[in-house]
Structure 1
Amino acid sequence: MLTLHCPLQETDESVRRERFLTERLLIPERWIHEAKATRAHRDGDRHQQAMHLYRAGYWNQCHRLLIRHLASDCIINDNHDYLLDFLEGLAVPEHSASIQDWDTSGRVYLDYIRVIKSLQDIQQEVVSNDSEPDPDSRTLRILVVEIKPINNLVRRPVGYEMAKRVANILRVVLSLQQGDAAADPLSIPLAQLAPHISRLPMPEDYTLEELRSLTQSYLRQLVVSQ
C-alpha cells in the first residue's frame, strides 16, 4: 500500500499524510522511505532512489547504487559535496561494516574528496593570508596522510581521471613541504614522489609519461648536484 500511494514529490499534503502514518498509526518511517526508493527505481530516478535507500537504512544497496551509477558523474563534474553527504554517512563504522567492498569503493571516493577539499583549504589559506603556506601546518600534514590510501583507486575510467589529478596533487603537496624551495622544481623529493606515482592506476601511456618526467627530473638533479 505504501509503494502504491507514497509520492516522491513532497507537498504539504504528503507531509501531513506521512506524519499521520508515523505518529498516529506508528508506521516505521523507514518503511515509507523504502516504498519511495522502490517507486524511484521504477521511475528511473536514481538520485531519489539513493536518498531514500539511505534514509531507510539500506546502506549496502545505497552504496552499490552510488558507485555504479552516480559517483563517476559527481567526480567528473566536481560535484563533490553531493557525494560527500552520502559517503560521510555511510562511513560511520556501524554503517560501513555492513557495506560490501566499502574499503575499495566508497572509502576510496571519500578519501579522494577529502584530499581535494584539504588542498582547497590550503589554497584558501594562502589567498586569505597573502603568504606562503606553512610546511608544518596541520592542514598540510593531514593532506599528506590522507593522500596515501588513494593509491588503491578503483580501476575504471573515473579512477584514471582521479589518479591523474592525484599525481598533480602529489607534486603540489611535496612542493609545499619544501617551503621556500617549492618554486624550484628540482627541489621536489623524487624518492618520495616516484613510489606513489608508480602505484596509481593510470592508463599505461600516462604512467609512462609520468615516469619519464620523473626520470628526466632525477637526471637533472644529478647534474646539478655534481
Structure 2
Amino acid sequence: MSAFDLPRRLVAEGLGTGFLVAAVVGSGIMADRLTDDIALALLCNAVATGAALVVLVTVFAPISGAHFNPAVSLVFAIRRELSRRDLAAYVAMQVAGGIFGTIATHLMFGLPILETSATMRSGAPQWFAEAVATFGLVAVILGGLRFDRTTVPLMVGLYITAAYWFTASTSFANPAVTIARSMTDSFSGIRPIDAPAFIIAQLVGAAGALLLMGWLLREKREEATT
C-alpha cells in the first residue's frame, strides 16, 4: 500500500507516462533526423526508451507503483492490489499523460501539436509480437517484485530495450503509449486504425502472464494452505 494519497499517485502516473512517451517519440524524431540508417535509428530509440524507463520507474515507483501502463494497472487490479476506482483513474491519467507527452515532444521539435500517424503496423505477426512483448513485460515485473524489488527498474528498462529488437512490432507493450503514438506521424508512430488490435493483443499478453506467473511463483507451502 502506497503512503501517498490518490491525487499524488495520479500525478506520478501522468508525469511518468508523459515522460515515457516523450522519450519514445522524441528519440525517434531525433534519430530519424540525424541518420538515414533505420537500424541505427531504432537502436537510438530503444536505448533512449530503456534508459528513461530505468529512471522513471526508480523515481515514481515509491509513489504510485510506476505502472505507466493500463495493462500493468489492470494486472494489479486483478491481483487486488489496486481498487477498481483507482484503476479507472490510473488508466485515465496514463492515457492523458501519454497524449501530453506527444504534444510536448511535437512542441520541442517544431511539429504540429497533434498529427495522425500514417505508419502501418498491422497483421497477425505484429499482433502476436505485441502479445509476446506485453507477456514478457508483465512477467518481468511480477518476478522482480517477488524476488528483488530493487532490480525492477533496471529489469524493465533492459527488457524493453531488448524487446525493441526481438519483436516484430518493436514492443509497444502499453495501451496508453500506443494511443499516444497514434498521434504522431513520426518514426515511432502507428496508424490510429491499427491501434485497437495492438491494444487487444497487449491485454491478452498481460492476462497470459498474470495466469502463468501466478502459478509459477506459488511455492509449495502456499499451495498446502489453499
Q: Tell me if TM exceeds 0.5.
A: no
Choose between structure 1 and 2 for higher RCO, CA contacts under 8 A separated by at least 6 residues: 2
Larger Rg belongs to: 1
TM-score normalised according to structure 2 size: 0.29
